[in-house]
Amino acid sequence: MKNLSLATLLPLAAALCGAPAFAADDRLPVPDQGWEVRFDGPAYDKVDEKNRPNQYMLRGTSGRFNVSLFVETPSCAGGLSNEALYGCYQVALKRNPMVVPATVRANALPKGVAVMYMIQVEAEGRKVPMFNINVLFAHGGKQGDLHVSMIAPQHGDVEALIRIAESFDVVDTAAAPAPAGSAAN
C-alpha cells in the first residue's frame, strides 16, 4: 500500500474537476454496535438498509452521487490492520474488469485507508467513467467499508469525494455493554 497524502491526487482531481452541495456532516449509526460513521458529504436519499447479525448495509444515492456502508464480521486474512484490509480489497479490485488498474491509489487515513480508483460503466450503450473511494476501516471487532462514487465526474466532484474521505471518522456513541454476570454500578 502506498502511503500518499490525499493531496497527491489533486492533479487527477484538477483534470476531472462545480462541487455538489454538501449537507451538514452525515452520521450513520451502526445498529447494535454503539458507534457511528461520520463524514461531510452531499445530501442523499437512502435506498436500501439491511441489518443482519453479522452484517449491516446501507445504500444511498443523489443524482450522480452514490454512498454505501458495509460493516461485517472480519473476513480478510491477516487481521484488521490497514495493510490487511487493503490487501484483501486489492484482490477484489484486480478481479473486477471494470477497474482501470493505473488509477488505483491507497492512502492512509487516521482511522482507515482510502482506496481510490476509476471504473468504466456501461450507460445507454456507451462507457462512462465513475470515480470511487472506498474507506476501509476496523472498529469494535468489525471491518467496514464506506464507499462513495460519482458517475461521470465533473468539475469539483473528485475534490468533493476526497473531502468525504478526509472527513471520515468512527465515533463511539454508547458505553460498551457490561460483561455477562456483572452487576451494574
- Separation of alpha carbons 168 and 146, rounded Å: 9
Average pLDDT for 13-36? 67
Angle value at C-alpha 37, between 45 and 79, nearest 5 degrees: 125
DSSP state of 9: G
Q: Are the beta carbons of 103 and 117 closer than 8 angstroms?
A: yes
Q: 10-19, 26-35, 116-125, 147-156: which range is least confident on average?
A: 10-19
pLDDT in tens, 121-168: 988 899 999 999 999 999 999 999 999 999 999 989 999 999 999 999
- Structural domains in the chain plus CATH codes: 6-172 (3.40.1000.10)
Radius of gyration, alpha carbons of the chain = 17
Measured between alpha carbons, how far apart are the two ends of the chain, in Å? Answer: 46
* Residue 24 burial (CB count, 10 A): 8
